[in-house]
Structures are given as C-alpha cells and as structure tokens.
C-alpha cells in the first residue's frame, strides 16, 4: 500500500480547519456531484467541487469499479465493530454518516489493497486470515524509527460482492499483496518478497503467468497501470550506502520496512524501460496516472520540515511541470481517478474536527 489505514490516524497529528455545509441537490444533478465548496482549500483549483463520503474512523485506498458505479475501500472504524482493516464496497453516490457499507472481506485477519476485476462483480484483495483469524500486531516504531509491517501471512484472494472467496491467487510463503488490475483487464501487478526482496510481479487474472518485473534492492510497491495498460508507476526505496543496505535487509528480515525515503519510478508493463521519475526527497508514494496518461498524481511530504503535511502533487511522466494540487495542513493521499476521468477519490484529514479520523472524499476534477 500502500500504507494500512490503521496507521494513518496514529501518525497524523494536527488540526485541519474548515467548515462543512450540506449541499442541496438540484433537479437533474448527479448525486455524485453533490458537494460542498467549503471543503476545498484556497489554491485547490483542480477541484470543481468536493463531497465527503465517510464521517469518522480510518478510511483509505478507495478504488473505482471498471464502470465507475462502485468503489471498494478499506476501513478500520471502531463504530463498525472493526479491530483492523477490512474491505467494503459502496455505490459511487453513497455517503456513510450514520450507516455502514457492506463488508466484502471475511472479517478475519487483516486485509489490504482491494481492487475491482473487469466484470465489476468480483474484487481482489490481500488478507492474513489463513494464518490467523485475529488481527496481527502492528509495529510502528523500531529503535525510534517509523516502520511498516510486511506480513508474510498476506496472500491475494478473489471474492464476489457478497463476500464469498472464489479463488486464491497466491500461495507461496511470504508477503503477497498490493494487487491492482490493468485497465485493459488482462493483468494484475502486485508486490511479493518471494525472491528475498520486495519486488513487483505481474500475473494473469487467474493467478497464472507470474512474471517478475523489477529486481533492484529496495521496497517496490503501490504499483498502478497507465490508462492504456502499457506502463506501470510505483514507489520504491533504494538503499545505496552499506549502512542503508544493512538497515534495509535487517528490517526486512523482521518483516518490516522503513517508508520515510521513497521516490517514484516508471517502467513499461513488462518491466523494461525502468527510470526514476522523482528526485524530491522524503516520502513520495501512492502514485496514480492522470487519465491522459502523460501525468501522475501522488502524495508527498517533500516540502515538509517535520514530516507533515502530506499533500497531493502532479508531475509529467517526463519529470517536468511539478504542480501542487492540495493545500492541507496534515494529510491528503491515495488519489485515484475514475475511469471516465471526471472524478478523483482521495483520503484526507480535512474536516475531521481536529481528530485523527481519515475520511474519503470525491472531487469533480478540472484540468
């Protein structure tokens, strides 16, 4: 992940101030366009309007169905009876203030990285439930440094929208997670440590044809295909010095990674033509292609002195025209365009009343 939703409220301390007003739907207006402009901060010119989807808890990583009618997201919301991240599906026009969306994971173990398959009736996601029905522990710091867990119990599953698991796509020992599907509907890209390092792999929708596409030392993850399926964008750490390499390998042996120094990389769908896209420093992650295929949105704290805020930025696939998209004080991340290019869903701490809640927002996009 991509970062587990559970970790977001723990590390995000701060207050985001804005006023929420309830929009009134006019005759003939799409419910998905109902929004409050007061949720848009000054300078966020790419947002024509914005609508808050969830109201409380930890909600993140929302991804559109191929027909843009639904989204899948992960949440760890205590009021929904959850102890760690599970998968939920919603209609694109839904909001969840006093109600709970249908859960499509098992409710056991920890899940991450749900994504729709092309038929819009099935999803893929990673889960630890085969090893333990309980939530695994979440180490956040080691020797004073922030870390992410990389659970070796994660495997990738297919489920229908009633929550029934219909297939298991990976079954090798070790970490298999972070699966996303090509817009062409033919391939899945995912992260695995089956080689001894965290690399990217592709496979067919039925789990066959597994192919390793990266092989440099470091954490390669959070990968997405371009709109035409020809390229892959991802975030990666690249330890260079002997000390950095030793630290990375030592953490990985404990099932941990340190995600505080990551840059964006881009390659062809078969792994060829690999090149580094950003050279910004700090943490640059959760990239997603703009619908034109020539730009990428991502979250970064490269302008922050103390680790925060994280804001959304846009950059050309040639590394030029870096532009700031959001202007929050704490956290904006996980930007994902609808397939028709009209909407952007993202996770944010805005309008959380100074709490640690991370909510989902859908914005009408304008270039």
297 occurs within a structural domain? yes
- The per-residue pLDDT for range 299-339, each reduced to its tens digit, is 999 999 888 899 999 999 999 999 999 999 999 999 999 99
Q: Is the pLDDT of residue 9 over 60?
A: no
CA distance 316 to 297: 9
pLDDT at 125 exceeding the cut of 90:
yes
Contact 324, 301 (CB under 8 A): no
Phi, psi of 9, rounded to the nearest 5 degrees: -70, -25
Asked if the structure places residue 2 within a domain, the reply is no
- As a whole number, mean pLDDT of residues 238-264 equals 97
Given this model, what pLDDT does residue 23 score?
29
| Dist CA 46 CA 363 (whole Å) | 9
Model pLDDT, residue 67: 98
d(CA 355, CA 13): 8
Q: What are phi and psi of 35, to 5 degrees?
A: -160, 170
Rounded to the nearest integer, the mean pLDDT of the chain is: 91
Domain assignment present for residue 184? The answer is: yes
Residue 1 domain-assigned? no
Other residues' Cβ atoms within 10 Å of the Cβ of residue 186: 15
The answer to whether residue 7 scores a pLDDT higher than 80 is no
Does the residue 56 lie in any domain?
A: yes
Domain span holding position 141: 7-23+31-365
* Count of structural domains, the chain: 1
* Local confidence band at 28 (pLDDT 50, 70, 90 cut-offs): very low
Q: Using an 8 Å Cβ cutoff, are 355 and 55 in contact?
A: no
In a domain, residue 201? The reply is yes
Distance CA 350, CA 39 (A): 7
Residue 79 is classified by DSSP as G
pTM for this model (two decimals): 0.91
Per the rule left: phi > 0, alpha: psi between -120 and 50, beta: everything else, 249 is: alpha
pLDDT at 37: 65
Q: Give pLDDT, residue 6.
A: 37
Least Cα distance to 50 among 358, 351, 352 occurs for: 351
Question: Is residue 6 within 8 Å of residue 76, measured between CB atoms?
Answer: yes
Q: Which band of pLDDT confidence, cut at 50, 70 and 90, is reported for residue 222?
A: very high
Of residues 64, 63, 57, 55, the one with CA closest to residue 85: 57
CATH number, domain with residue 104: 2.120.10.30
Mean pLDDT over 152-176 rounds to 98
**Whether pLDDT at 22 is above 50:** no
Residue 97 is assigned to a structural domain of this protein = yes
Q: At 108, give phi and psi (nearest 5°).
A: -110, 150
- Confidence at 140, pLDDT banded by 50, 70, 90: confident
d(CA 358, CA 331): 8
Whether the pLDDT of residue 60 is over 50: the answer is yes
Q: What is the pLDDT of residue 127?
A: 98
pLDDT of residue 153: 98
Arithmetic mean of pLDDT, 170-197: 98
- Classify residue 207: in a domain, yes or no: yes
- Please name the residues in contact with 155: beta carbons below 8 A apart, sequence gap of 6 or more: 126, 127, 130, 168, 169, 170, 171, 176
How would residue 117 be classed by pLDDT, with cut points 50, 70 and 90?
A: very high
Cα 346 from chain centroid? 9
Strand partners for 86? 75
According to the model, what pLDDT value does residue 349 have? 96
């Amino acid at each position: 992940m991509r970062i587990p939703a559970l970790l977001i409220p723990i590390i995000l301390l701060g207050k985001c101030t804005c006023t929420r007003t309830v929009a009134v739907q006019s005759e003939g207006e799409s419910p998905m366009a109902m929004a409050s402009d007061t949720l848009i901060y000054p300078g966020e010119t790419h947002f024509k309007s914005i609508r808050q989807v969830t109201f409380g808890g930890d909600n993140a990583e929302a991804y559109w169905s191929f027909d843009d009618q639904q989204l899948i997201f992960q949440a760890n919301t205590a009021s929904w009876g959850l102890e760690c991240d599970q998968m939920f599906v919603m209609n694109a026009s839904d909001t969840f203030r006093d109600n709970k969306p249908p859960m499509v994971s098992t409710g056991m173990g920890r899940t991450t990285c749900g994504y729709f398959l092309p038929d819009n009736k099935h999803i893929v996601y990673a889960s630890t439930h085969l090893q333990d029905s309980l939530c695994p522990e979440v180490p956040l710091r080691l020797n004073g440094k922030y870390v992410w867990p990389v659970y070796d119990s994660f495997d990738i599953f297919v489920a229908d929208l009633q929550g029934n698991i219909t297939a298991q796509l990976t079954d090798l020992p070790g970490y298999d997670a972070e699966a996303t599907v090509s817009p062409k509907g033919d391939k899945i890209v995912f992260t695995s440590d089956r080689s001894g390092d965290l690399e990217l792999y592709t496979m067919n929708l039925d789990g066959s044809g597994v192919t390793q596409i990266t092989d440099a030392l470091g954490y390669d993850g959070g990968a997405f295909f371009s709109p035409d399926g020809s390229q892959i964008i991802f975030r990666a750490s690249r330890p260079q010095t002997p000390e950095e390499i030793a630290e990375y390998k030592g953490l990985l042996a404990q099932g941990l990674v340190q995600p505080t120094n990551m840059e964006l990389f881009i390659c062809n769908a078969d792994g060829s033509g690999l090149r580094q896209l950003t050279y910004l420093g700090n943490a640059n992650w959760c990239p997603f292609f703009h619908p034109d295929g020539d730009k990428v949105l991502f979250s970064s704290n490269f302008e922050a002195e103390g680790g925060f805020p994280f804001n959304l930025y846009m950059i050309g696939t040639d590394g030029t025209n870096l532009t700031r998209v959001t202007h929050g004080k704490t956290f904006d991340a996980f930007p994902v365009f609808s397939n028709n290019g009209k909407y952007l869903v993202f996770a944010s701490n805005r309008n959380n009343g100074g709490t640690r809640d991370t909510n989902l927002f859908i914005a009408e996009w304008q270039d």
